[in-house]
């Protein structure tokens, strides 16, 4: 059998065109047409003039921002302490922190829900708080791992040099370690922020009936409104693109699934 190595890529290239590029094109088509197939900006103006959808966008951004901040505040100290510890088994310990992400998320949220019900009695009382706790519970490992990976690779002699040059511990951390761990922080943020805007299952399961962007897609889907749903999907895509451009996505691919540890 004669073939060149290049031709091996053709099936995958065709696959990507059919199932990654084409769906996006269809999304654009549906977002800018109406039921009769005529071009329209109606869906776009509907989204940006309807107080309900704008409210949903604001609520999603709020949940995502708070969740991301909470994750970062918890994950950074943990990642830092582990990465800088002198323990031999730290690769095993980080594994224990990351392991929950291999347990099905809906089952983990079920577990959390039972505990929260026990503590709070009625989950409906603190919907926003519960959603943030749920998302933090779900996404925390995705924040810990990239930050840990960045700090553990840092050259320890840099902080030593800073100290030799007269910096105290705090200065050495603020001026050397923190700026150098920024890539890990950014990749962690992009791992948490976007899912937090769209993972409406966490809200559903914890009895928060307020919509986020993901729930909006699902409600249009349930109502067979492909045009409106496509517009929401496009808005989300826009936010994702903006985010990717800002964060200049580096190593999130490994962070998403803990691939670095496999």
Partner 1 sequence: MSRKIVRIAVPVLVLLFLYVPILILALYSFTDATQIGAIRSFTLKNYVTLFSTEELRSMIVGTILLALGAALLATILGTLGAIGSFYSRKRTSSAIATVNQIPVINADVVTGFSLCILLVVVFGVSKDSYIPLVVGHVTLCAPFVYLSVIPKLKQMDSSLYEAAMDLGATPAQALFRVVIPQILGGMVSGFSLAVTLSLDDYFIATYTKPATFDTISTYVVNATRGSQTDIKTALWALSTLIFVLVIVIVGVMNFNSGRAQKKEAEKA
List binders of partner 1 among 30-89 (CB under 8 A).
Answer: 30, 74, 77-78, 81-82, 85
Task: Decide: is 142 part of the binding site for partner 1 (CB under 8 A).
Answer: no
Residue 104 sits at φ, ψ, to 5 deg, of -50, 130
Question: How many C-beta neighbours within 10 Å does residue 40 have?
Answer: 16
Cβ 175 to partner 1 shortest distance, Å: 20
Task: Decide: is 93 part of the binding site for partner 1 (CB under 8 A).
Answer: yes
Identify the residue among 142, 217, 228, 231 touching partner 1 (CB under 8 A). Answer: 217
Task: Decide: is 201 part of the binding site for partner 1 (CB under 8 A).
Answer: yes
The count of residues in the chain is 262
Cβ 191 to partner 1 shortest distance, Å: 10
Cβ 34 to partner 1 shortest distance, Å: 15
Task: Decide: is 156 part of the binding site for partner 1 (CB under 8 A).
Answer: no
Stretch that binds partner 1, among 110-118, 147-155, 157-165, 175-183 (CB under 8 A): 110-118
Cβ 211 to partner 1 shortest distance, Å: 13
Task: Decide: is 176 part of the binding site for partner 1 (CB under 8 A).
Answer: no
Q: Each residue of 62-72: b (16+ CB within 10 Å) or e?
A: ebbebbbebbb
Q: Judge whether 137 and 109 are in contact, CB under 8 Å.
A: yes
Distance CA(10)–CA(13), nearest Å, equals 5
Task: Decide: is 171 part of the binding site for partner 1 (CB under 8 A).
Answer: no
Cβ 161 to partner 1 shortest distance, Å: 22
Identify the residue among 35, 39, 118, 156 touching partner 1 (CB under 8 A). Answer: 118
Which C-beta is closer to partner 1: that of 37 or that of 51?
A: 37
| Ramachandran category for residue 3: left, alpha or beta (phi over 0 → left; psi -120 to 50 → alpha) | beta
Which C-beta is closer to partner 1: that of 39 or that of 224?
A: 224
Q: Longest C-alpha distance within the chain, in Å?
A: 73
Task: Decide: is 26 part of the binding site for partner 1 (CB under 8 A).
Answer: yes
Identify the residue among 43, 67, 141, 211 touching partner 1 (CB under 8 A). Answer: 141
Q: Which residues pair with 33 in a beta bridge?
A: 39
Tokens matching residue 96: 């224990």
Q: How many residues of this chain bind partner 1 (CB under 8 A)?
A: 87
Helix or strand holding residue 240 (H, E) = helix 226-247
Task: Decide: is 146 part of the binding site for partner 1 (CB under 8 A).
Answer: no
Task: Tell me how far the alpha carbon of residue 60 is from its chain's centroid.
Answer: 12
C-alpha torsion sign, points 59, 65, 66, 71: positive
| Ramachandran category for residue 26: left, alpha or beta (phi over 0 → left; psi -120 to 50 → alpha) | alpha
- What is the pattern of x (binds partner 1, CB under 8 A) and - over residues 219-258? --x----x--xx--x--xx--x---x----x--xx--xx-
Identify the residue among 32, 105, 148, 211 touching partner 1 (CB under 8 A). Answer: 105
C-alpha torsion sign, points 41, 44, 48, 49: positive
């Amino acid at each position: 059998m004669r073939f060149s190595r290049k031709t091996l890529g053709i099936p995958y290239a065709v696959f990507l065109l059919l199932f990654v590029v084409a769906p996006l094109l269809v999304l654009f088509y549906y977002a800018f047409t109406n039921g009769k197939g005529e071009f329209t900006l109606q869906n776009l103006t509907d989204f940006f003039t309807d107080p309900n959808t704008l409210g949903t966008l604001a609520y999603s951004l709020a949940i995502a921002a708070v969740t991301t901040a909470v994750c970062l505040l918890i994950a950074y100290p943990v990642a830092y302490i582990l990465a800088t510890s002198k323990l031999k088994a730290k690769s095993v310990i980080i594994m224990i922190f990351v392991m929950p992400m291999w347990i099905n998320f809906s089952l983990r949220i079920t577990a959390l829900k039972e505990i929260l019900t026990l503590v709070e009695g009625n989950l409906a009382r603190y919907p926003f708080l519960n959603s943030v706790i749920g998302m933090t519970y779900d996404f925390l490992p995705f924040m810990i791992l990239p930050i840990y990976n960045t700090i553990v690779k840092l050259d320890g002699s840099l902080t030593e040099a800073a100290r030799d040059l007269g910096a105290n511990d705090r200065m050495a951390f603020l001026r050397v370690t923190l700026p150098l761990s920024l890539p890990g922080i950014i990749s962690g943020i992009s791992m948490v922020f976007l899912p937090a805007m769209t993972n409406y299952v966490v809200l559903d399961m914890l009895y928060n009936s307020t919509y986020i962007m993901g729930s909006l897609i699902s409600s249009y889907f349930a109502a067979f409104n492909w045009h409106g749903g496509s517009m929401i999907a496009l808005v989300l895509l826009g936010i994702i693109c903006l985010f990717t451009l800002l964060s200049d996505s580096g190593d999130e691919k490994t962070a998403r699934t803990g691939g670095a540890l496999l």
